[in-house]
Amino acid sequence: MCARLLSLCLGLLACSALIAAEPLVLNVWPGAAPGDTKPLPPEADQTKDADPLIAGRRIIKLGNVTTPQLAVHRPAPAKDTGAAVVICPGGGFSILAYDLEGTEVAAWLNSIGVTAVVLKYRVPARDRTQPWLAPVQDAQRAVSLVRSNAAVWGLDPRRIGILGFSAGGTAAAYASLLGDARRYDALDTVDRVSCRPDFALLIYTGGFVERGQTTMKLPEGIMITKAAPPLFFVHAFNDGVPVQNALLPAAELKKAGGSAELHIYDAGGHGYGLRPVAELPVTTWPRRAEEWLARNKILIRNP
């Protein structure tokens, strides 16, 4: 009987540990997202068997996202720094590379003691003239949601950042540059909490220079000023998304008196996430990012 009871207790402990490891999932909006009226087919992974592999593995291409959500991945308590990062996967505002640039990034952030919040923002683009608008709205609300839960989750509300890849980098960059200028009407008490990220990491981002162009152009009302949070850029010269998307905003922010760190690699292409691509140095960027976070006192322990 004692042996059976011990076995049962160990089983229950294992189950509770597994449950605790599951991310907390929250809807971004209390009801329908702003401006959404057109119904879409069901949300689904749109990956095809013939799609190219990334570092020998397939990826999740999540499409038809109508209900934006946050998946909150917590680090081990012994490592928890009290910092948090909202992650915006890329996908050309058509799909979300949900594992490559989402959950895999969350695992890395957890390993360095950061609460990782994967944002499932709306795709495909609702407005092709402003494909970034719905994702930026979702990102701004996500930052406010995380900050409004800081006390409950044991976070420092002054160390809540954002990280974006490609099109997700555009959403993260614009949300950072807009500060507290929301691109939607406030809805509730969550929207009384600041939506300005305290720092941003922009990995092979777009949003600043269009393909075939070499000069920077931002949407009306979005500007690079000294008020921007510290920005960290990673890009490769052979990326199909122009490298000027990192070079020019970093230089402009430094000129304005802000803080920017820039890592440009000779090769790497686009869309590698954290996966090793032909052992190229570009995929060591998480080490540089961790160093930058440490220098900016993001990875300190809560008092």
Q: Residue 20's pLDDT is what? A: 46
Mean pLDDT score, 120-143: 96
Mean pLDDT score, 238-247: 96
Whether 136 has a pLDDT exceeding 60, the answer reads: yes
Q: Which distant-in-sequence residues (6+ apart) come within 8 Å of 202 by Cβ?
A: 163, 164, 169, 172, 173, 231, 232, 233, 234, 246
- Determine which helix (DSSP H) or strand (DSSP E) holds 161, and give its type and residue range: strand 160-165
Q: Residue 286's pLDDT is what? A: 98
User: What's the rounded Cα separation, in Å, for the pair 248 and 208?
Assistant: 8
Give residue-wise pLDDT tens across range 182-239. Answer: 999 999 999 999 999 999 999 999 999 988 888 999 999 999 999 999 999 999 999 9
Nearest Cα neighbor of 229 from 286, 298, 166 is: 298
Mean pLDDT score, 270-278: 92
Q: Residue 9's pLDDT is what? A: 37
Residue type, 196: R
What CATH topology corresponds to 50-295?
Rossmann fold (3.40.50)
Nearest Cα neighbor of 99 from 165, 33, 177 is: 165
Output the CA–CA distances (angstroms, integers) from residue 174 to 65, 121, 167, 231, 253, in the order listed: 20, 14, 11, 12, 14
Whether 273 has a pLDDT exceeding 70, the answer reads: yes
pTM exceeding 0.85: yes
Q: Where are the domains of the chain?
A: 50-295
Output the CA–CA distances (angstroms, integers) from residue 214 to 202, 242, 247, in the order listed: 19, 8, 10
Give residue-wise pLDDT tens across range 151-161. Answer: 999 999 999 99
Give residue-wise pLDDT tens across range 55-70. Answer: 999 999 999 999 999 9
**In the chain, count of helices (H) and strands (E)?**
7, 11
Whether 13 has a pLDDT exceeding 70, the answer reads: no
Q: Give me the chain's average pLDDT, please.
A: 92
User: What's the rounded Cα separation, in Å, for the pair 69 and 153?
Assistant: 17
